[in-house]
Amino acid sequence: MTELPPRRVLFRCDGAPIPARLGEQRWFDRRHIRSRGDRADLTLKIEERGGTVLTAIRSRSTDLVRIASYVYRADTLVPRAATNDASDERWRRHFALCIPVADLAYWEDPDVQGRLNSALNFGTGDTWEFAFAQATAEFWPLPFSIDPAELYDRPTAVSLFSGGADSLCVLLEAIAKGERPVAVGHWSTDTHEHRQTGLLTDLRRRYPGLAIPHFGFTVQGINQEGPEHTRRTRGFLFASLGAAVASEIGVERVLYGDNGPISINLPLNGQVVGAHASRSTHPKFLERFNHLIAGMFDHPIAVENPLLMRTRPEVLEVLTRTHAQDLLSSTLSCSTWRGRPIATPHCGVCTQCVDRRFATIAAGLEAVDPASRYQHDVFLEDLLDWEARMIAVSYVRFAQEINRLSDDDLLLHYGQLFDALTEDDPQAERTLRRLVELLKRHARSVLDVLATMTKRHLTELVEGRLPATCLLRIAVAGAVVPETGVSISKNLIETLQPEPPVASIPPLKAAPRENEFVFDADHWRWRLTYKDETRTVKSSVNLTRLACLLAEPFRAFSPEELLATAHPNPPGMMDVPQAISEGLGLEHYGAGGFLFDEDSGEFIEKGISGLRAAADAAREKGKDARAAEFEEEIARTKAEWEKGLKLDGTPRPHPDNVTRRPDSMRRSIERAILDIADRLPVLAEHLNDSVSIKDARYAYQPKNGATWRVVRPSS
């Protein structure tokens, strides 16, 4: 097998010269990063929302912000993944950056460079080296609009604000304690900016005596984001921005908040190693970052995480204490938020969404953060995507393990806990004990939520109405034994002998092969098993629809219900070409218009309202082209909406759909069975006997009592 060494990439930033010691080495690639000129590929701007005085940010602050921006850009440009890299050897990269700086003497100090490398190394898992050169005077200053500190009523802290729930709680708690915080945000898109400014506007309304100034940094690639999305340098960037602003406005504290379990980010399962889990607020990263900035500025500045010893539900209690629960729905946690509909900004299955979902239930905040705002219900819906299943199952297993282990065994299994101790902690043992207790509370919280959801959906579990690959079924092993009320998992755990010798452990028996209608995402085929015969069939939307029938035997679907079950993307936000590309077929929408109901209408109205606000914001910032794009989107959405309205303005189904849809659906199901007949005739025969199409209703009604394990494609 070919050795896979770390990728070594040399970056020349804004024309800084490459010294011979770097130039003579072999590099996998040599690239440029430019923040100026026609070939600029990095935008770096600072904006103060409401600032009136333009000044230049000071040298070392500028240097730190620029270094962090180049580092961030470089991080996104070099991919970590490689094919056939079972041992993750391409995960680590080796970066060399040549960077112009204003204070060359400072940055050339080997001690400073060592501390810079150390902070980045821990935060990213990569190796970093730097070569600094003198920046030209006219190039360097970063325009920074800022009111004099007196106009901000003597701010007491910088609060790093991402628009997420935790950073909102940091702000709220600081305000509640009498602090006068300045918010610093980083965004790479208008959506991010819009969200942060919206939340802060809300906060200012609630606290009219506070200005809560907001500095926003735009640090992003121009035209194209890089291929690497893990962005482990984001923590360094964010901390650097906070430190730079703190330096300029004369405050000593930078609040960088994330709850404790996220901050120490222990591996959810054995494949997670080092910086595979993000370390933005890890105590060791913050220790090393603070070591870097010690002595850098005119006054001491330290970045601290006020949420380290709290679980996420405990953090969210801040919202309740400050009567700001309603703000939770405006925060965003999802890591795959781009392109999501406004009504469902959270995917529901990434690590951040899963953790948020559990936390909001534990904190009693479901009313303001309901399941409907998550595109996928991790508890109740199929976890078909491999990553979604990996995350959800590992999340629960992690909590179960933490709950089971004694405090001493926790230290054995999770030696990473020692990394959370800082060198100068005078009470290291007490800190470690508190971290252990924190993890135990986190585990307890997760398991309590699981128990709550199990009780809430007990009837569906017992009746077998939940999909086989939903988290509840996986976590509680299928069903509660009827009449006894005892869970199957409890039975099985009790039958496992404690610590038997290896040789005497009986092999786990394979489950008997049941009938299967399983979508194989890796090969884009369906795997069908019926009466011990297995065949694969090429994927089609027709088979997806048939699978929906098999998943819910004896349920009579209308064409609309079957369509919505098979393809649950909200139709209102989908244009016709996209609908066709996803196989929804024009014939199901008559002449190509949309069928709207009242829910769709409300949804579209909210969407248009959001688009309008975004257009206004873009126009305010002079981004007319962007504003025009938003206006076009509004016009397009309105035109489609109006096609589906009667003269009195109420929604109407397209007349052709009334007759066309049932025929189309019948043909779709029949085609699916024909496709199966070519490969597995005995199954096709069974389906012909069992699928009922009557009065425009479709149902699977097996006379032979056949049951199915159905795995559908992710939506």
Partner 1 sequence: MGHIHFVRLPPTPPWRAVVRQIQDPSAGVRSIATATAAAAADRLDRLREDASLVYCFWLLSRLTSAARRPDFVDSLADVGIRAAPSDTAIVFVARVAELSRRELERHPESSPFGEFASLSLRRALTETVGSEGRSLFGSSLDDLERALAKHATPHRFGEIARRFFGDVLSRTLRFYVEKELSLYVGPGWGLASTAHADAFITDLDRYARQTATVMETFAEEWFALHDFRSGGRIGRDEAQGFVAEALRKIRDELDGRPAA
Closest contact distance (angstroms) between CB of 618 and partner 1 is 28
Count residues binding partner 1 (CB under 8 A).
98
Mask for 214-233, x = binds partner 1 (CB under 8 A)? ----------------xx--
Q: Quick check: 704 binds partner 1 (CB under 8 A)?
A: no
Subset of residues 58 to 117 that bind partner 1, contact rule: CB under 8 A: 80-81, 83-89, 91-92, 94
Q: Which of 351, 539, 657, 664 binds partner 1 (CB under 8 A)?
A: 351
Between the CA atoms of 380, 381, 383 and 388, what dihedral angle is there, to the nearest 10 degrees? -80
Residue 587 tokens read as 């014939």
Nearer to partner 1, 243 or 383 (CB): 383
CA separation (Å) from 337 to 80, 346, 374?
A: 22, 6, 11
Q: Quick check: 706 binds partner 1 (CB under 8 A)?
A: no
Nearer to partner 1, 107 or 414 (CB): 414
Closest contact distance (angstroms) between CB of 416 and partner 1 is 7
Instruction: Look up tokens 């299928």; give the residue.
Output: 478
Subset of residues 626 to 685 that bind partner 1, contact rule: CB under 8 A: none
Q: Which of 20, 502, 625, 639 binds partner 1 (CB under 8 A)?
A: 502
The residues, any chain, with a CB within 8 Å of residue 60's CB and separated by 6 or more, are 102, 103, 106, 247, 296, 297
Closest contact distance (angstroms) between CB of 555 and partner 1 is 20
Nearer to partner 1, 477 or 556 (CB): 477
Subset of residues 258 to 297 that bind partner 1, contact rule: CB under 8 A: 258, 261-263, 265, 268-274, 276-280
Regarding beta strands 533-538 and 525-530, do their DSSP bridges make them parallel or antiparallel, or are they unpaired? antiparallel
Nearer to partner 1, 187 or 698 (CB): 187
Listed residue (187, 109, 96, 99) closest to 140, CA to CA: 99
DSSP secondary-structure letter at 697?
Answer: E
Subset of residues 458 to 477 that bind partner 1, contact rule: CB under 8 A: 468-469, 473-477
Subset of residues 521 to 580 that bind partner 1, contact rule: CB under 8 A: 522
Q: Quick check: 386 binds partner 1 (CB under 8 A)?
A: yes
Q: Quick check: 121 binds partner 1 (CB under 8 A)?
A: yes
**Helix, strand, or coil here: 485?**
coil
Region binding partner 1 by CB under 8 A among candidate stretches 139-147, 484-492, 638-646, 663-671:
484-492
Whole-number Å distance between alpha carbons of 183 and 642: 42
> Chain-centre distance of CA 1, in angstroms?
34
Nearer to partner 1, 474 or 576 (CB): 474
Q: Which of 56, 367, 451, 488 binds partner 1 (CB under 8 A)?
A: 488
Nearer to partner 1, 71 or 203 (CB): 71
Beta-sheet strand order (sheet of 708-711): 533-538, 525-530, 515-520, 708-711
How long is the chain? 715
CA separation (Å) from 611 to 110, 603, 631?
A: 50, 12, 8
Mask for 394-433, x = binds partner 1 (CB under 8 A)? xxxx--xx--x--xx--xx--xx-xx-x-x----xx--xx
Q: Quick check: 393 binds partner 1 (CB under 8 A)?
A: yes
Whole-number Å distance between alpha carbons of 524 and 379: 25
Between the CA atoms of 101, 102, 103 and 107, what dihedral angle is there, to the nearest 10 degrees? -10
Listed residue (242, 240, 237) closest to 159, CA to CA: 242
Nearer to partner 1, 105 or 493 (CB): 493
Nearer to partner 1, 102 or 347 (CB): 347
Q: How many other CB atoms are found less than 10 A from the CB of residue 294?
A: 12
Nearer to partner 1, 9 or 146 (CB): 9
Q: Quick check: 314 binds partner 1 (CB under 8 A)?
A: no
Whole-number Å distance between alpha carbons of 583 and 581: 5
